[in-house]
A and B are shown apart, each in its own frame.
Chain A
């Protein structure tokens, strides 16, 4: 018969962490499936407060953009392209940063054309190396809504934005 020795098997003190990875990967997959990358970006659009007296803009002094149904637009009555906007506005805004800009889109004009013009107007605040004018604040843009236009028509009988 052999000797009876006190043989204690040494247990290593450890916390089992193998399942940790499983849990973690489960969570990763959950987040990957249920979420999207924060690619949601857009143009800031400040709505004026809804007061009953809309700010009156002297038509003659304002730069007037009219977006047409085919996606083109008129800048102060003349057909223009996107690239023309910044050079056209630069001297005017330099002289008077508060210069009003009216952006009027016809009812059937495509939304993207209006956004393209609005984007150029927003670009004025970008630094010059990014194609902007480096303005510290946005120019004074007003976008007449259809309700306002209807009010004008009721008042004057004509749409004041269509005659130029």
Chain B
């Protein structure tokens, strides 16, 4: 009897069925842990120990320092990306419009750590006059080593 070499051809493939499971798991993870950022301004935030979650869909008032070192306001209603506002009166108009449409709207103050307090005060006063009650001052986590 002749021995014929009959190598059974195993198809060379990598099982990819579980790949989709892993991928969808990751998708769900990203969907839950992330949220769309309405403001991408780079700002050096002040530090605090107490930090609470910012409610989703909050409107943003941003106080950022431009390249010339001047502080300027930006505003986002929580849906559209933030846009610069030329002056305080325009900011007031934007805030009033949002607060009138949704009276319980949470607001976030995102401001450079070195902003003179009067600029924050102006923003807070506008929010207060618009009847806003929930405001979050965006901060960074303070660690033990932070001196100031």
Contact = CB atoms under 8 A, between A and B. Distances in A.
A119 B49 contact: yes
B139 interface: yes
B37 interface: yes
B50 interface: yes
| A contacts with B: majority SS | mixed
Contacts of A49: 131, 133
Nearest to B119: A111
Contacts of A122: 48, 50
Interface residues of A, number: 50
B147 to A, nearest CB: 10
A67 B121 CA distance: 13
| B contacts with A: majority SS | mixed
Given A17-B17, A119-B48, A123-B49, A50 B131 contact: yes
Given A28-B27, A43-B137, A111-B46, A35 B36 contact: yes
A108 B116 contact: yes
Contact of B37 (A35, A43, A109): A35
A74 interface: no
A90 B46 CA distance: 25
- List 10 tightest A-B contacts by C-beta distance, closest first: A24-B23, A35-B34, A112-B46, A20-B20, A112-B113, A21-B19, A119-B48, A41-B51, A107-B118, A115-B46
Interface of B: 16-17, 19-20, 23-24, 26-27, 30-31, 33-37, 46-54, 63, 108-109, 111-122, 124-125, 127-129, 131-139, 141-142, 148
Interface of A: 17-18, 20-21, 24-25, 27-28, 31-32, 34-38, 40-50, 67, 71, 105-112, 114-116, 118-119, 122-123, 125-126, 131, 143, 145-147
